[in-house]
Structure 1
Amino acid sequence: MPTTPLTEERFALLRRQPRLSASDVAAVGGVAGIGVAFLLSPDHIEDGPVICPFRALTGLPCPGCGLTRSWVYAAHGWWRESFASHPFGLVLVAGILALAVTVARRRARHEAPPELDRLLKHPVVLAIGAIWLTFGAVRLVLAI
């Protein structure tokens, strides 16, 4: 089978091909996680095994404990239960969906996706992260 020589035009075209960015990976991974939440039953999510390594080792909740249950409840429209499982579950779902829509829109327009490092350093995201960690620390101290 004959091969096409690598001309300047072909080389330039190959260089312009989109590469996966950290934003792409985060958006796809997050949407996949939300998709899995739709597959799990909210009726039996409390009966499942403890999947948090920190909690399995110490018996204490980490800052992320309850997010799986929160996402499952949210995926099925059980908003009150979602918030009760983890108050930041709905915030994280909203953030992932916003990121996924932004990445998809930019890719459709042949623009570069947003830089994840830059997004994570935004003052609003940093404030939410600080509040989340404070929540986790208070919950940990109350559990002791």
Structure 2
Amino acid sequence: MQLAAFRAPALVGVSGAAAVVLLRLRDPHESGAYGLCPFLAVTGQPCPGCGGLRAVNDLAHGQLVAAAGSNVLAVVLVAVLAVAWVLWLVRRARGRIDPMIVLDRRVGVAVLGVIAVFGVVRMTPWGSWLGP
């Protein structure tokens, strides 16, 4: 097993960890801490990612319920990416050199569909509990 095989997973892991540390140290719950959401500025409506930074900040502080309240989709995405990264490391350890995640067209369209439906539903009165 060559160490070079772990270069990409290591870079992804370090980048992800750095992002979590940044979000832990600089609180996105404070207005303007990370600038302005362009989608929100143009449309006046929260994008599907609104609350994502707050959700990761809450996760970094061990507050799962608060994170889900900020953006449940972001919480699910973080969990999926963490599992995918660990499985990627396992595959690399077994000698398989492949990307972290490979989505076929149908799965990619389904993921985009879930994001779109989430974005629309959270702006309705009966889905407002999903809002940021």
Residue 19 (structure 2) aligns with: 33
SS at 1:69 equivalent? helix
Query: Does structure 2 retain, via aligned residues, the 8 Å contact 1:30–1:96?
Result: no
CA contact (8 A) 1:74 1:82 kept: yes
Quick check: 1:136 aligned with 2:129? no
Give the match for residue 119 of structure 1. Answer: 103
- TM-score, normalised via structure 2 length: 0.67
Q: 1:82 aligns with which of 48, 67, 70?
A: 67
Q: In structure 2, what residue type is equivalent to 1:119?
A: L
Cα distance in 1, alignment partners of residues 40 and 63 from structure 2:
25
- What is the aligned-residue identity percentage? 31
Which secondary structure state, in structure 2, belongs to the residue aligned with residue 46 of structure 1? coil
**CA offset at residue 27 of structure 1?**
5.8
1:62 matches 2:62: no
CA contact (8 A) 1:38 1:76 kept: yes
**Runs (5+) with no aligned partner, structure 1:** 1-16
Q: Between Structure 1 and Structure 2, whose CA radius of gyration is higher?
A: 1
Ranges in structure 2 where 5+ consecutive residues have no aligned partner: none
CA distance in 2, matches of 1:32, 1:106: 24
In structure 2, C-alpha distance between the alignment counterparts of 1:38 and 1:92, rounded to whole Å: 18
- Compute the TM-score of the two structures, normalised by the length of structure 1: 0.63
CA distance in 2, matches of 1:129, 1:85: 20
- C-alpha distance in structure 1 between counterparts of 2:26 and 2:99, whole Å: 31
* Aligned-partner Cα distance in 2 for 1:122–1:115: 18
